[in-house]
Amino acid sequence: MLVIGEKINTSRESIKKAVETKDSEFIRKVAREQKEGGAHYIDINCGTFIDNEPELMEWLVEEVQKEVDLPLCIDSPNPEAVRAGFEAHKNGKPMLNSISGEKERYDALAPLVKGYDCKVVLLTMDDTGIPTDAEKRFQVAKDVIADLKDGGVKEEDIYVDPLVQPISTDTTNGLSVLETIKKIHKEFDNVNTTCGLSNVSYGLPQRKLLNQTFMIMCMTEGLNGVILDPTDKKMMGLVTVSNSLLNKDPFCGQYLKAYRDGLLEI
Amino acid sequence: MLVIGEKINTSRESIKKAVETKDSEFIRKVAREQKEGGAHYIDINCGTFIDNEPELMEWLVEEVQKEVDLPLCIDSPNPEAVRAGFEAHKNGKPMLNSISGEKERYDALAPLVKGYDCKVVLLTMDDTGIPTDAEKRFQVAKDVIADLKDGGVKEEDIYVDPLVQPISTDTTNGLSVLETIKKIHKEFDNVNTTCGLSNVSYGLPQRKLLNQTFMIMCMTEGLNGVILDPTDKKMMGLVTVSNSLLNKDPFCGQYLKAYRDGLLEI
């Protein structure tokens, strides 16, 4: 299970302020805490700064890499910001978050994905929007995967994100995502899946309970990547618990270690 | 999701004592609390009383029905105790817990299942024991289902229990159960599944966390019955949350009601 830490995003007020004041200490602290929580990748998003996103992306990538030895997830639809992030990246293989089946976005970003040795998040949407049913989401992913593979991208570097939508607006929204994850893993031996979870609970009370439960459901269908807050002990504990129940933890070793470290909250 | 309340079982010390002293008040209280917690069936097990199980089963069934209007789950491998329970049963359709592919047990109990209008729990084991893999568990179930249907039993009255075993002794034990549940629902449109959960966590710390997570996983694969303690608010809350995410709760109505009633604990 690949955990992508979501916290360095300028849509969050504290990060926005830190970027504006070039508060390197704060950014590095947020990166360090995510690594300590168990993140494998650190997402970097400064998309709210439209005028100088590439320059700020470069700065963030450099600062974060001074603090942690993890690879980073360059989170932008702007090819210049992505290129700046990739060029500044040193810790292993960067990830692009994200491409989709939208023609303009794809045409702009696919050359970068094919040109760099990177991982990539693929959103299951195209120019008609986010399909409501799993079959169409799967088709969008399938077409893009075929083109990426033609361009030399390996299946294991692709992470399909089925785009979680709120069950409060349509109660089939959870099932569509679960079904898409299942289809991807059934059809492709080595393509990965990932998603952000919190959208599922939008508009409902006790959102954490829905997000936690939905993550377990997605993992049951094969989800092997997730974008979340790795400093959320409860959520990270549930990743460990789920791995153990799904036979991804030999001798329950990670489970027992997490217990000893006080990381399994009831 | 059919919830079977597990608490009236003489393997529990307080119930054993209440049966010995014919403490009708206590038994009725435990029945009432399970109904209030959301149980649809109340399980009755007095199997520790080998010498007079039929007589005690009759007494328990009568007492519980004085308190609650729920149907009961007659939990015994002893045909005489089952018959006594069925004969005393008045609240709708009783359930037998359980038959299996074990020849002696099946031959003794199948006539009762075929002769009464009842539901039945079918354990996926035969005279060779509990198969370790899902395919064999499924085959055991398939053979028994065929014979029950020949005898006039309807699919919708059958609840297959794939027999949860601890992941601490074999880390594939969780997956085997999930796979069996999936196969049953794929092969049979109307056969149900059920299981007890707590075995999965035997031998490990923080058992509740494993049991809760495993229930969510089983529901993701289609589990539509469960044997548990309905006074466990956290577990019952997770049933509600899971139903909502799996599109079994129109407009999230049950979810919102549970929230208003203070039944959704984080």
User: Looking at CA atoms only, how far is residue A195 from chain B in angstroms?
Assistant: 16
Please report the pLDDT score of residue A199 as a whole number: 96
Assess whether A112 and A219 both reside in one domain.
yes
Whether the ω angle into residue A98 lies within 30 degrees of 0, i.e. cis, is yes
- Last residue within a domain, chosen from A92, A119, A154: A92
Interface of chain A against chain B, CB under 8 Å?
Answer: 167-168, 171-172, 174-175, 178, 200, 204-206, 208-210, 213-214, 216-217, 219-221, 237-238, 241-242, 244-247, 249-252, 255-256, 259, 264-266
pLDDT in tens, chain A (266 residues): 999 999 999 999 999 999 999 999 999 999 999 999 999 999 999 999 999 999 999 999 999 999 999 999 999 999 999 999 999 999 999 999 999 999 999 999 999 999 999 999 999 999 999 999 999 999 999 999 999 999 999 999 999 999 999 999 999 999 999 999 999 999 999 999 999 999 999 999 999 999 999 999 999 999 999 999 999 999 999 999 999 999 999 999 999 999 999 999 87
Q: Which residues of A touch B216 (CB under 8 A)?
A: 213, 216-217, 220
User: Looking at CA atoms only, how far is residue B169 from chain A in angstroms?
Assistant: 8
Q: If you measure CA to CA, which chain B residue comes closest to A201?
A: B245
Structural domains of chain A, count: 3
Assess whether B138 and B167 both reside in one domain.
yes
Taking an 8 Å cut-off on Cβ atoms, the answer to whether A245 and B208 are in contact is: no
- Last residue within a domain, chosen from A57, A92, A127: A92
Q: Which residues of B touch A168 (CB under 8 A)?
A: 252
SS3 sequence, B160-227?
A: EECCCCCCCCCCCHHHHHHHHHHHHHHHCCCCEECEECHHHHCCCCCHHHHHHHHHHHHHHCCCCEEE
Taking an 8 Å cut-off on Cβ atoms, the answer to whether A246 and B209 are in contact is: no
Query: What are B121-167's pLDDT values in tens digits?
Result: 999 999 999 999 999 999 999 999 999 999 999 999 999 999 999 99
Say if CB B224 and CB B193 are below 8 A apart: yes
Assess whether A78 and A164 both reside in one domain.
no
Assess whether B249 and B137 both reside in one domain.
no
Q: Which residues of chain B have pLDDT under 70?
A: none
Assess whether A104 and A81 both reside in one domain.
no
Taking an 8 Å cut-off on Cβ atoms, the answer to whether B167 and A252 are in contact is: yes
User: So what's the ipTM on this one?
Assistant: 0.96
Three-state DSSP class for residue B115:
helix
Assess whether A190 and A112 both reside in one domain.
yes
Please report the pLDDT score of residue A266 as a whole number: 78
Assess whether A45 and A85 both reside in one domain.
yes
Assess whether A145 and A17 both reside in one domain.
no
What is the domain range of residue A2?
Answer: 1-92
Assess whether A49 and A147 both reside in one domain.
no
In this prediction the pTM is 0.97
Nearest CA among B236, B196, B201, B244 for reference residue B220: B244
Taking an 8 Å cut-off on Cβ atoms, the answer to whether B259 and A172 are in contact is: no
Assess whether A69 and A191 both reside in one domain.
no
Taking an 8 Å cut-off on Cβ atoms, the answer to whether A217 and B242 are in contact is: yes
Query: Dihedral through CA A242, CA A99, CA A181, CA B168, nearest 10?
Result: -20
